[in-house]
Amino acid sequence: MNNAVRERRAERQWTQADLADRLGVSRQTVNAIETGKYDPSLPLAFKLAGLFDCRIEDLFFPE
Amino acid sequence: MMDLYDRQYWREFTLWALVFAVIAVGGAWLAKPLSAEHPLRTLVVLPVALFAAAGFLIEWRQFRRFDEFQKSLYLEAMMAMGYTTMAFCMAAMMLVATRVIQAPDPAYTLVVMGLGFYIGLWRARRRYRE
């Protein structure tokens, strides 16, 4: 699954560590999500969408 | 590899390992003069087994602190451990049944479990590294 997490994070000038803190996960987990190595659970995807003030489908899309 | 585990885990684990070493060595020292049939021997050795089991609590607490990605990596490592141990036990049973080898020391199972977990964690963790 592709995602726009990195772009959205960059827009807000957050580091991976900043985003990780806000999500309550490790920085490596944020990195794995951004690089497509890990697809987050639905609750975490909702949390991401909430932080970026968008819908999940604006953040994650099929390859 | 072990950056998956946090400082709290290493603090608790180090303390546990130190106390376990003292209990194990102390238990062995106290049990030594007692004969094999002596009832006190079980009492002396029992704390070692109980404290060994207490190590599980430290691992469990760390697992609860993992986020969902870390949990998935950990579970992959556990699966690798389970299948490696199963393969080892089945191979050993067949080799013993066909009298190729004598029954191995059960302690080898612990070594294989540890090795399986380490290999599984190493493989899974490649995704966690950057």
Using one digit for the tens of pLDDT, what is the confidence trace for B2-61? 578 889 999 999 999 999 999 989 988 888 888 878 888 888 878 888 888 888 999 999
Quote the tokens at residue A48: 């991401």
Q: B104, A2 in Cβ contact below 8 A?
A: no
Inter-chain contact A41–B130, Cβ cutoff 8 Å?
Answer: no
- Per-residue HEC secondary structure of B33-61 comes to CCCCCCHHHHHHHHHHHHHHHHHHHHHHH
Instruction: Select from B1, B69, B121, B123 the residue whose CB has the most chain A CBs within 10 Å, as the one to mutate to test that interface.
Output: B69
pLDDT higher than threshold 90 for residue A40: yes
Write the CB contacts of B98 (distance below 8 Å, at least 6 apart in sequence).
none
Closest Cα in chain B, distance from residue A53 (Å): 22
Closest Cα in chain A, distance from residue B70 (Å): 8
d(CA B7, CA B89): 35
Q: What is the chain B residue with the closest CA to A45?
A: B68
pLDDT, tens digit, 9 for 90 and up, residues B93-117: 999 999 999 988 988 999 999 999 9
Which of A31, A35, A44 has the CB atom closest to B68's CB atom?
A44
Write the CB contacts of B7 (distance below 8 Å, at least 6 apart in sequence).
none
